[in-house]
C-alpha cells in the first residue's frame, strides 16, 4: 500500500517517503491527454486486448469450471509462487487472555527468511469450531511493523501503532473486534514486514545513498521513532531492488506474498477451533491487495473483503503507478485478466469490495469501472447476489462504518 506518510514516521522529512507519499487528499480527474509516462500513455494503454484473453467476459461460451481452470493455471504460472513443500511446525510463544479474547502469539519457520510471527485471537471460553478470517495487515509505507497494525494484545500497545490505527482504522484494532464478534482470527507478518523485514546488517553490495540511514545499525539497535522512520525510508527505496531480484529468481513479489498468505491460511484452517469450510480473508490497502490475490487464487476462501484496493490496470499505467508498492505487479498478467478480474476468479464465491471516493491512490472513474467489470463477471456466473461494492466518502481508510459493513458481510456468508 502506498499512502500518505504514516503518522509513525512524521518525524522524518517527507521526501523519505517519495515512493509512497501522497501529499494531499484532494482528488482531481486525470487529464486524458496526459499520463505519468507522458505521450506514451495512450499508446501503452492500447497494447492490451479488451477484454483480456482469459476474462470471463471474453469466454462466455465456456462453462464456469472450464474457464476458471484455464485462467487459474495461467495466473498461477505468471505469479510463479515459490514452492513451500510442507506445513512448518507452529510454536506457541505465549498464551493469555486479554480483553475477552484468548490470544496466542505464534511463530513458524518458512524455507526463506527469519521466522514468521503471528497472533491468533478467538472469544474466550468458546469450544465449538468457529468461522475464521485471515486478517491481512496493510503496507502503509511502514515495514518495520506487521500484524500489530490491526491487532492489539495489551493495555500498552506501541504508540506508533496506536496512531497508525487512528489514521486508517478510526482507532480500532479490527482483528480484535472481529474476534469478539465470534470469529477465530489469525494475523501474520508477511514478506518484508515486521518479523519478516529485511535487516540492514543482512544487505550488502548496494550504494547507501543520502536517503538511507546514515549508518548500518543492526536491527536490534532500531528503537526510536526517528530510527524507525529512517528504516521505513530505506525499505521504501529498497523495494525496486527486491522486486527486480525476485524477477531474476524466477518469481514475483505477488507470488512470494501469496505463498506466505496461503501457508498462513493452511495453519489457520488446521486449528481445532476453526471450521475449515468457513474461511474468509480481509484487509485494507496492502491487505486489500493481498486479499485480491489470495481470495482470487485460493478456492478455500469462501468469503473475501478487499478494502481500499480495487481499480484497473489502466489507472495504474496512466495515473497512479508511482503511488504504489512493487507488491502489485505480475508481469504480463494484464494481457489475460483485468486487475479486478483476479478477484473475479473466485466467482461465484462471495466478494465485498469497499472503496473510498476520495482515495488518493486511485481515480474514482477507474474504481467505478472495476466495479462494473466485477458486476458483469458475477452476472455471467449467475451469482450477482454474491457480489457487492460500496463507496464511502473520504480518503484512504477502513473506518468503523466500513468495518461494520464488512463484518455484516462475513456474518452473512460464514456464520
pLDDT of residue 206: 79
Three-state DSSP at 344 gives: helix
Per-residue pLDDT tens over the stretch 22-65: 434 455 667 778 999 999 999 999 999 999 999 999 999 999 99
Q: Provide the strand spans (E) within 311-357.
A: 351-356
pLDDT of residue 28: 64
208 pLDDT tier (thresholds 50, 70, 90): low
Structure-model confidence comparison of residues 211 and 370, the more confident one: 370
pLDDT of residue 27: 56
Length of the chain: 415
Please state, in angstroms and rounded to a whole number, the distance separating the CA atoms of residues 169 and 355: 14
pLDDT of residue 209: 55
pLDDT of residue 204: 84
125 pLDDT tier (thresholds 50, 70, 90): very high
89 closest CA partner among 74, 111, 68, 56:
111
Cell matching residue 45:
494503454
Lowest mean pLDDT among 11-15, 179-183, 380-384: 11-15
Nearest 5 degrees, angle CA 378-CA 380-CA 381? Answer: 60
Mean pLDDT of 205-226: 72
CB 339 within 8 A of CB 311: yes
Please tell me the pTM assigned to this model.
0.92
pLDDT of residue 217: 73
Mean pLDDT of 191-200: 96
pLDDT of residue 26: 52
pLDDT of residue 219: 84
Please state, in angstroms and rounded to a whole number, the distance separating the CA atoms of residues 279 and 96: 24
pLDDT of residue 356: 98
Per-residue pLDDT tens over the stretch 300-309: 999 999 999 9
Please state, in angstroms and rounded to a whole number, the distance separating the CA atoms of residues 74 and 233: 35
Structure-model confidence comparison of residues 207 and 139, the more confident one: 139
pLDDT of residue 371: 98
Q: How many CB atoms neighbour CB 143 within 10 A?
A: 25
pLDDT of residue 15: 31
Cell matching residue 373:
467489470
Task: Describe the strand order of the beta sheet including 303-307 as a list of residue ranges.
Answer: 90-98, 101-108, 116-123, 184-188, 130-136, 274-284, 303-307, 351-356, 387-392
Buried b (16+ CB within 10 A) or exposed e, 197-230: bbebeeeeeeeeeebbeeeebeeeebeebebbbb
Mean pLDDT of 124-138: 96
Mean pLDDT of 74-95: 96
Please state, in angstroms and rounded to a whole number, the distance separating the CA atoms of residues 343 and 347: 8
pLDDT of residue 24: 40
Q: How many CB atoms neighbour CB 102 within 10 A?
A: 18
Can you tell me which residue has the cell 478477484? 343
pLDDT of residue 211: 52
Mean pLDDT over all residues of the chain? Answer: 91
Please state, in angstroms and rounded to a whole number, the distance separating the CA atoms of residues 316 and 363: 9
pLDDT of residue 386: 98
Mean pLDDT of 148-175: 97
14 pLDDT tier (thresholds 50, 70, 90): very low
Please give the share of the chain, as a percent, with pLDDT higher than 70.
Answer: 90
Is residue 2 scored above 70 in pLDDT? no
Lowest mean pLDDT among 5-19, 22-36, 78-92, 227-241: 5-19
Cell matching residue 85:
513443500
Mean pLDDT of 217-239: 89
Mean pLDDT of 319-329: 94
Q: How many CB atoms neighbour CB 180 within 10 A?
A: 16
pLDDT of residue 161: 97
Is residue 21 scored above 80 in pLDDT? no
Per-residue pLDDT tens over the stretch 258-286: 999 999 999 999 999 999 999 999 999 99
pLDDT of residue 127: 87
Question: What percentage of the chain's residues is helix, strand, coil (to nearest 5)?
Answer: 40, 15, 40
Can you tell me which residue has the cell 494484464? 334
Mean pLDDT of 117-141: 97
CA atoms within 13 A on the CB side of 350: 19
Amino acid at each position: 500500500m502506498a499512502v500518505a506518510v504514516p503518522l509513525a514516521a512524521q518525524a522524518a522529512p517527507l521526501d523519505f517517503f517519495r515512493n509512497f507519499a501522497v501529499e494531499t487528499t484532494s482528488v482531481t480527474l486525470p487529464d486524458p491527454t496526459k499520463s505519468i509516462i507522458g505521450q506514451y500513455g495512450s499508446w501503452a494503454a492500447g497494447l492490451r486486448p479488451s477484454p483480456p484473453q482469459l476474462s470471463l467476459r471474453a469466454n462466455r461460451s465456456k462453462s464456469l469450471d472450464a474457464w476458471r481452470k484455464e485462467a487459474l493455471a495461467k495466473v498461477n504460472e505468471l505469479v510463479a509462487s515459490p514452492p513451500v513443500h510442507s506445513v512448518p511446525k507452529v510454536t506457541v510463544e505465549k498464551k493469555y487472555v486479554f480483553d475477552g479474547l484468548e490470544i496466542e502469539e505464534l511463530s513458524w519457520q518458512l524455507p526463506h527468511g527469519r521466522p514468521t510471527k503471528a497472533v491468533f485471537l478467538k472469544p474466550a471460553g468458546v469450544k465449538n469450531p468457529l468461522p475464521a478470517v485471515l486478517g491481512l495487515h496493510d503496507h502503509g509505507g511502514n515495514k518495520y511493523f506487521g500484524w500489530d497494525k490491526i491487532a492489539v494484545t495489551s493495555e500498552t500497545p506501541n504508540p506508533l501503532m496506536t496512531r497508525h490505527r487512528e489514521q486508517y482504522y478510526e482507532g480500532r484494532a479490527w482483528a480484535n473486534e472481529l474476534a469478539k464478534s465470534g470469529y477465530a482470527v489469525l494475523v501474520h507478518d508477511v514478506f518484508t514486514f515486521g518479523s519478516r523485514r529485511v535487516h540492514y546488517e543482512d544487505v550488502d553490495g548496494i550504494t547507501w545513498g543520502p536517503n538511507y540511514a546514515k549508518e548500518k545499525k543492526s536491527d536490534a539497535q532500531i528503537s526510536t521513532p526517528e530510527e524507525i522512520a529512517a528504516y521505513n525510508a530505506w525499505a521504501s527505496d529498497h523495494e525496486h531492488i527486491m522486486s527486480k531480484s525476485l524477477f531474476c529468481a524466477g518469481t514475483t513479489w505477488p507470488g512470494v506474498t501469496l505463498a506466505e498468505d496461503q501457508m498462513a491460511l493452511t495453519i489457520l484452517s488446521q486449528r481445532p477451533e476453526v471450521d475449515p469450510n468457513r474461511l474468509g480473508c480481509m484487509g485494507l490497502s496492502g491487505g486489500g491487495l493481498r486479499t485480491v490475490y489470495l481470495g482470487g487464487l485460493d478456492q478455500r476462501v469462501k468469503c473475501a473483503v478487499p478494502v481500499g484496493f480495487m481499480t484497473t490496470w489502466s489507472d495504474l499505467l496512466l495515473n497512479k503507478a508511482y503511488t504504489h508498492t512493487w507488491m502489485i505487479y505480475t508481469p504480463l498478467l494484464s494481457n489475460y485478466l483485468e486487475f479486478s478480474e483476479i478477484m473475479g476468479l473466485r466467482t461465484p464465491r462471495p466478494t465485498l469490495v469497499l472503496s473510498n471516493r476520495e482515495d488518493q491512490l486511485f481515480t474514482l472513474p477507474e474504481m467505478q469501472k472495476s466495479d462494473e467489470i466485477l458486476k458483469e463477471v458475477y452476472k455471467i456466473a449467475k451469482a450477482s447476489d454474491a457480489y457487492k461494492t460500496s463507496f464511502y466518502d473520504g480518503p484512504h481508510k477502513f473506518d468503523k462504518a466500513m468495518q461494520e459493513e464488512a463484518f455484516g458481510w462475513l456474518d452473512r456468508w460464514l456464520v
